[in-house]
Amino acid sequence: MVDENTLLQKLTNLLQEQDAFTRAADVAKEFPDPVVDDLGYFGYWCLVIGFICMALSTLYFYMMATAAKGSKFFETLTMLITAIASLAYLTMWSGAGRMWVEEVPGTISPVYWGRYVDWILTTPLMIWDILALAGAPADEIMLAVGVDILMIAFGLVGAQTPDQNKWFFFIIGMLCFGHVVMVLLKYSGMNKFGDDARALYNKVAYMTIFLWTLYPVVWVLAEGTRMVSASLEACLYCIMDVSSKCLFGFIIVQARAALESINTAQAGYKNMDQ
């Protein structure tokens, strides 16, 4: 016959083991007044500044597109990048582009899905813009764009995952990022449209690789480990977004000589095909 004290001890141990695997969201129910890690004034001002930078850049790229003679492909593509980002920043500022995740017991943190919608639309356009400078084939561009979309999607799902499983999504996203970097480096030596076009490609490609490498670092500090506040997260992403989109666009549209050489060469290829 089993001793009553022994049975009680086993039951207690079993309950303790079960509690060890309780989800953070369940544990957080013990906190009647959870802490909300929302944006402060500093964070909201970062979103406002991001919107202003994107909107003014969009206006400038629009003016450059309307003033351009001949093909407006690169100016239009660059304008769309900052225009979409402007909408995303305005959405996040209004409070409509976020959801809440309870990762740390008693603390609710925001995940700005509006930021990921921005990236999942603009980063493929940026890749298309860059690879078109090198004259990459359409199938290579589409493959890089598809992998890039998967990269952003894995990051979004990982940001919304309130447990350690988020790191699986992060690792897969980084593998996708590795493919994008590999493709951009692959065409750094191409000289299909002349030296000006090659220099322009290398400038924006290497700048993009450097800036995009900073995004997963901030992701680890913000959505990954919650080591930084929501306001500081907004500030860091704003700096990188403005640098990788606005500065990226200014470099491209200002290099008119390189763009004209690309457009002329492409027009010659089309005439030969006809």
Question: Is there a contact between 133 and 201 (Cβ–Cβ < 8 Å)?
Answer: yes
Would residue 25 count as lying in a domain?
no
**Is 5 a member of any domain?**
no
- Determine, yes or no, domain membership for 205: yes
pLDDT value of position 226: 86
Between CA 270 and CA 21 the distance in angstroms is 63
Residue 37 contacts residue 110 (beta carbons within 8 Å) = yes
> Is 6 part of a structural domain of the chain?
no
pLDDT of residue 152: 97
> Is residue 165 in some structural domain?
yes
Per residue of the chain (274 residues), give pLDDT as tens: 445 566 556 545 544 544 444 444 454 455 555 666 678 889 999 999 999 999 999 999 999 999 888 788 899 999 999 999 999 999 999 888 888 877 666 667 788 999 999 999 999 999 999 999 998 999 999 999 999 999 999 999 999 888 888 999 999 999 999 999 999 999 988 878 888 889 999 999 999 999 999 999 999 999 998 888 889 999 999 999 999 999 999 999 988 778 877 777 766 555 445 4
The answer to the question of residue 2 being in a domain is no
* Domain containing residue 177: CATH number: 1.20.1070.10
What is the DSSP secondary structure assignment for residue 28, as one 8-state letter?
Answer: G
Domain count, the chain: 1
Identify the domain containing residue 223 by its residue range.
Answer: 35-273
Reading across the β-sheet that carries 35-36, which strands appear in turn?
A: 35-36, 107-111, 99-101
| In a domain? residue 9 | no
Is the residue at 4 inside a domain? no
| pLDDT at site 35 | 61
Helix (H) or strand (E) holding 36: strand 35-36
Coil, strand or helix at 63: helix
Give the type of residue at 50: G
